[in-house]
Structure 1
């Protein structure tokens, strides 16, 4: 199970929030083993 992909989903409410998540949080999570992130914009 150690090689199992880790996935994280974000629900954001606008373009500003999407940019913040994409530019600030995604690199951090990628560095910590999260291989897939999905942004869901309202």
Structure 2
């Protein structure tokens, strides 16, 4: 993410995001998501 504001928002939504990802996968494969400020490249 590009700001601490986005990190805070995504951390707030993390449990729901993990649940939705696992629902889409059909089984529990994701137990943690980590966010950090910076670019992917």
TM-score normalized by structure 2? Answer: 0.53
Separation in 2, partners of 1:21, 1:29: 9
Equivalent residue pairs, number: 30
If each structure's helix is expressed as a fraction of its own residues, which one has the higher value? 2
Q: Which of the residues 1, 7, 15 maps onto 1:27? A: 15
Q: Which of the residues 31, 34, 41 maps onto 1:38? A: 34
TM-score normalized by structure 1? Answer: 0.52
Separation in 2, partners of 1:29, 1:13: 19
Q: Tell me, which stretches of 5 or more residues in structure 1 are unaligned?
A: 1-11
Q: Tell me, which stretches of 5 or more residues in structure 2 are unaligned?
A: 23-29
Q: Which residue of the partner structure matches residue 26 of structure 2? A: none
